[in-house]
Amino acid sequence: MATVVLVLGAWAYLALSGKPRLPTSIANGRYSNGCCGTIALHDGMMTVANRRVDYIVGLDKAGPYVLPTAHVGASAQAIVVRSDAYPLKLRLDDAVHPHQLELLGDAADGGRYSFARVNGS
């Protein structure tokens, strides 16, 4: 229980801090990777691995990102959602009309997985 409160508190701190936020609608769409599956983003609600996760869209020195309320990572077989782990920023390639979303690997090696925006979304 304490871990959940800590994770939500950290997310709220990041979400409410002075960092610039972007409209959540810029990330709207479906992003897919052949190894792992599809992530759907729509107005602050992410649907992934049969789960729904809230998120915000922000901007920092490294560029635009999606910050979910739970840890969302990727493995060679699937997208992993864990509410007991620290949420990580999912990087977007463009702040106006993103074409890719990048997730970090869920394993210790921390690989990166690119998800391409599905045409028409």
Total Cβ atoms within 10 A of residue 85: 15
pTM: 0.80
Which tokens go with 87? 């949420």
pLDDT tens by residue, 76-103: 788 999 989 899 999 999 999 999 999 9
Is the pLDDT reported for residue 39 higher than 70? Answer: yes
Domain region containing 97: 2-117
- Domain count of the fold of the chain: 1
For the chain, first and last CA: distance in Å?
37
Q: Per-residue pLDDT averaged across 6-26, rounded?
A: 72
Distance of CA 55 to the CA centre of its chain: 7
